[in-house]
Every structure is written in C-alpha cells, then in structure tokens.
Structure 1
Amino acid sequence: MLKSILLTAATSALLLTTAAHADAITALDPFVREVPPGSPTTAAFMTLHNTSDSPVRLINADNELTAHTEMHNHVDVDGVMQMRQIEHIDVPANGDVTLAPGGLHLMMIGLEGAVSEGDKVALTLTFDNGETLDITAPVRPIMPMSH
C-alpha cells in the first residue's frame, strides 16, 4: 500500500514538472525560405523564446520535407562570411535567440521539389531538457542579402 502511494506521488510530481516546462519554449514568427524547383536545400528561421529560469539548448530539428536538418551559423573567415554546421543553439533563460538569414538557421538538406510561398512546413524541435516543440512554418520569399 505504501509503495503504491509513493509511486502515485512520484508519478504525479513528474507529470507536474513536465507540465510546468511543457510551454517554456515557443517559436515566434517561424518561416521557411521559398526556393525554386531543383534547389537541394532550404532553411527555416524563427525566434525561440524561453520563459523558464534555466537556459536550454536546441539539440535537434526535423521536418517533413527533407531527411536531414542541420543547425548552422555564419562566421567571418578572413573577411568572408561562411556557413558552418553547429552542434546546438543556446536559448538563454528568460530570453530569446533569433534564427535569421545571414545568421543562425535550420538548414533543410535533401529537398525534392519546389517550396513555394503559401506552403506550410511542419517542424519538430528537440531541446536538451527533453522538451519538443512542434511548429508549422509558412513558406515565404526572402530577398537576397546585399553586400
């Protein structure tokens, strides 16, 4: 009987902890870059907002269009901006991190077919605290960056 009560209490505490963290991360203004047919890649952008008192790391991203998604950043190498794969994206406690063209982004690799304005793309983001976030991102055109 005591084991049953303790098990119930432990399970309830775990569920309450999970519920408290379930909405800690939100994605604001997510979108996927429009690309023409034949382009092997596209990218997803958004602002990740963390309402918890602990920092979290985005450690994985999946999408419905491609078999492979990588986290990328742009770095200056001898005056030339180069894209680099990174292991994770840090989201500060009670803060934001912005994924935007020319900076942090989710690179979607192995695209088959066009991704056109008005389409919607399902993405699943996984964080190091065990939280996952399912989002739907509309496809939008992005003007090329000028140098």
Structure 2
Amino acid sequence: MTLKSTLLLAALLIAAPLASAHEYEAGDLHIDHPWSREMPPSAPTAAAYFVVHNKGDSADRLLSVDTPVASKAELHEHVHQDGLMKMQQVQTVEVPANGEVSFAPMAYHVMLFGLKQQLRDGERFPLTLHFEKAGAVQVDVAVQKDEPTEHKH
C-alpha cells in the first residue's frame, strides 16, 4: 500500500463514524441531527433542535435536558396566542407511539440559558435528553450558521 492510499483509507475510516454520528438510538427512540444556530457573541441564550422518532408501540416522554455549556436548559414551544407568536416553557414533551416529535424553529425547542461560551459554527457540544422510559441519552449538537436544508419546512 502506498502512503497516499494508506492516508486515504485512514481518512475514510475517520470520516465514516463522523457521518453517522448525527443519529442516536435509545430503546425504541431514534434521535436525528441535533443542531443549534450560531448566535452573535452578545447573545446570552441559544436553542437546540432535533427530531425524536418513536419506533415502539408505547409513548415516551422527554422530561428534561441538560448541557455543560449552559447554566440552564429548558423545554420550550412556540404557540399562537391572541394573534401573536409566543414562546413558553413546557414541563414535558410527549413522544407518541409509532410517531415523532420535531424540535425545530417556531416549534418545540430546547432553550439554553447562561451560555458559558459562544457556540461557533462547526463546533459540537453535548446535550443529555432525559426520557421517562428510554432514560438518559447524550447527543452531540452541531453548531451551524444556518438551519439544515433537509429539515426546513
């Protein structure tokens, strides 16, 4: 094997786990592409998004979230109220049996308060999702400048 082909093989072996590292399994739950938008340096908050698919025959609930990059993480949703869009905290999020819940801009999302550092494009940070049945699932959230094109509605 030449040095060039050895390096190419090494690069492919390193890249392969990274490509699949954006999907997570926990029991009947499958979590897709956790991401967060890069915020201006002065922003004290950020939001994290992902999709939870439940492949099982019974519902589960997301009870809480936490991350070392923020002093507090909360579950939130956007709701229409009196003709206005309003963001409010929710205590839990139901993941229906054989269904899915989308955490996306203008929908459910995780709010991160008291960021300990600016989250920059290309970085990743850990986020732990605590489910009633599936337990704790740690995911890596990819920080990016724009919303992923495959998740735009």
TM tier relative to shorter chain: 0.7 to 0.9
Pair 1:46 & 2:50 matched: yes
Alignment partners' CA distance in 2, 1:60 and 1:124: 8
Segments of structure 1 that go 5 or more residues without pairing to the other structure are 1-20
Match of 2:124 in 1: 120
Pair 1:33 & 2:37 matched: yes
Indicate the RMSD between aligned Cα atoms, in angstroms: 1.6
Number of residue pairs aligned between Structure 1 and Structure 2: 123
Q: How many percent identity over aligned positions?
A: 36
Alignment partners' CA distance in 1, 2:48 and 2:32: 12
Alignment partners' CA distance in 1, 2:126 and 2:26: 19
Q: CA deviation at 1:58?
A: 0.2
| CA offsets 1:64-97 (integer angstroms, 9 cap, x no match) | 2102100000111111101000011111111111
Relative to the length of structure 1, the TM-score reads: 0.78
| CA offsets 1:3-53 (integer angstroms, 9 cap, x no match) | xxxxxxxxxxxxxxxxxx943212101101211112110010010011211
Segments of structure 2 that go 5 or more residues without pairing to the other structure are 1-24, 148-153
Q: 2:112 aligns with which of 103, 108, 115?
A: 108
Alignment partners' CA distance in 2, 1:24 and 1:98: 16
Alignment partners' CA distance in 2, 1:58 and 1:113: 26
Contact between 1:36 and 1:116, CA under 8 Å: does it hold in 2? no
